[in-house]
Amino acid sequence: MTETTHKQTTRPGAADRRRSPEFRLAAGLLGGLRQDLLTGAFAYRPLPPLRVDSDFTRRFSGRPRAYALWTPHTVVAAVGVVAMLLNLASNGTDGVAGLLCGFLALGPVLLTLVRPAGAFWLSLAATTVVGLVGDDWQSWPWAEGSFLSHLAVLTVVAIRTRPRTAAWMWLLTVLYGSWIVAVLGAGHDDIDASPMVLFSALILLVVTVRHIRREAQQEVTAQQTVTAVERSRRTLLEERTTIARELHDVVAHHMSVVAIQAEAAPYRVENPPPELEKAFATIRENAVAALTELRRVLGVVRAEDYAAPDAPQPTLADLDGLLANVREAGLEVEKTVTGAVRELPQGVELSAYRIVQEALSNALRHASGASARVEIGYVLGGLGLRVVNGPPPAPNLVKPSPGAGHGITGMRERVSMLNGEMTAGRTDDGGYEVSVFLPVPAAPADEDAA
């Protein structure tokens, strides 16, 4: 007979869950104290200089800017020197005790530049030494210079750390002031523990509010950045969806024509060979299958309320009607065509028409009352477009545009789809110009003619 003993293993953290909430709260607070002010208290953490692109340093140039980078270090050192002079003046400069008190006021302030947490403990220790060796008639336990030195240490350490550290330093300062007054305060009349508690609370409160405000600004900035990226991505997807819808109709039209012509071709030839009839039948079947798959795949980009247009998609031949509508809306526009006008692929014609349409719409929204010019150039390698408008006659009266801001994005997407080039920007006279080149491969007939 075998006897087996089962050992029950307590899961990590189970003992903590059995303890009271008060105990866990106290343990968490003490853990925060150990992390902020005890663990690695004298670790080397130098204060970095200001950034070159900060608001303060941008005010200077050349060598003064290089010096301005070290402004925080200079300010801290200057405060330490003032604290040292105050202790020297109150304790005398001719004795060892006076010099010791002076350097004990300067040392903690300078230490905040490299070891901030250690500077706090050094400040408390220095205060005790100055209170013991200093003159009896000065304020106690913080002499004049030590008072300024400790406030400076609290401020710099709080700025360099977190609000929780500021709370711990203030609480420890209160406990230290209460303890030293109760234990060593006999015979001292000018007790300044209460002013230290009050002033340190006000300063640390200001620093904490600054920390919270800066963190809030960083969160808002990060959220705005994410929102802008998401808005840009959504705009891009919307424009691509619109382009895909239009091209779906164009491609579907071409595939339908291929299927119809393949079906009618055998009847145009008297006694066609069986091989020819079979080839046309195969072409028609493949065209119909491709059309079905095209509608199935690209149909997902259609919105639920989207209806296919009854009329064919517009081309450059329809620009005159567009310009007439724009003129009725109040924009004086003229058209110039250079080169030999020829029929271009329907995708190029549609994209060119939409680009001109969007550019003129932007001119109507942002330059009401101005004049515009549309230039179309047929060249050997493709099509050139240039839409430029002048500045609005009364810029102050132009109302903010109600548009969604998709115009430039949509134009760039159309140009990128055709491997073209586009530039858009303001002109020297305050107007706006959009220049586009859409490459068009030469047709075989054009190559033979060349």
Cα 45 to chain centroid distance, Å, stands at 29
Residue 312 sits at φ, ψ, to 5 deg, of: -65, 155
Strand 421-426 to 382-389 pairing: unpaired
User: Are 130 and 105 in contact, with CB atoms under 8 Å apart?
Assistant: yes
Spatial CA neighbour of 165 closest among 41, 32, 26: 32
Give yes or no for residue 6 having a pLDDT over 70: no
Reported CATH class of domain 316-449: alpha beta
Q: 330: alpha, beta or left, given left = phi > 0 and alpha = psi -120 to 50? A: left
pLDDT digits (tens, 9 = 90+) for 296-342: 655 555 555 555 555 567 889 889 988 988 888 878 899 999 999 99
Helix ranges (H only) for 92-162 are: 96-111, 116-133, 144-160
Alpha-carbon distances of 149 from 38, 120, 290, rounded to whole Å: 21, 10, 83
Mean pLDDT of the 80-84 span: 95
DSSP code string of 228-276: HHHHHHHHHHHHHHHHHHHHHHHHHHHHHHHHHHHHHGGGGSSS--HHH
Q: How far apart are CA 76 and CA 422, in angstroms?
A: 54
pLDDT tens, residue by residue, 261-297: 777 777 777 777 888 778 878 887 887 777 776 666 5
**Interatomic CA distance for residues 358 and 406, integer angstroms:** 9
Q: State yes or no: cis peptide before 141, omega within 30 of 0.
A: yes
Report whether 333 contacts 323 (CB < 8 A): yes
Task: Kindly list the domain boundaries of the chain, sorted by start residue.
Answer: 18-191, 240-301, 316-449
Q: Say which residues have a Cβ less than 8 Å from residue 351's Cβ, sequence separation at least 6.
A: 243, 414, 415, 417, 418, 438
Question: Residue range 78-91: average pLDDT?
Answer: 91
pLDDT at 299: 57
Distance CA 116, CA 124 (A): 13
Any idea how long the chain is? 450
**Separate counts of helices (H) and strands (E) for the chain:** 14, 5
Q: What is the pLDDT of residue 2?
A: 45
Q: Please answer whether residues 148 and 87 qualify as being in contact, where contact means their C-beta atoms are separated by less than 8 angstroms.
A: no
pLDDT tens, position by position, 402-432: 444 457 888 888 898 889 999 999 998 889 9
- In whole numbers, what is the pLDDT of the chain averaged over residues? 82
Name residue 333's beta-bridge partners: 372
Residue-level pLDDT at 17: 57
pLDDT score, position 450: 45
pLDDT-based confidence at residue 249 (cuts at 50, 70, 90): low
Query: Could you tell me the CA-to-CA distances from 69 to 63, 66, 214 in Å, in that order?
Result: 10, 6, 21
Which residues, 6 or more positions from 93, have their beta carbon under 8 angstroms from its beta carbon?
Answer: 99, 102
Q: Which of these ranges, 191-200, 254-263, 349-358, 419-428, has the smallest mean pLDDT? A: 254-263
**pLDDT for 138-161, tens place per residue?**
788 999 999 999 999 999 999 999
Give the model's pLDDT for residue 248: 64
What is the model's pLDDT at position 171? 94
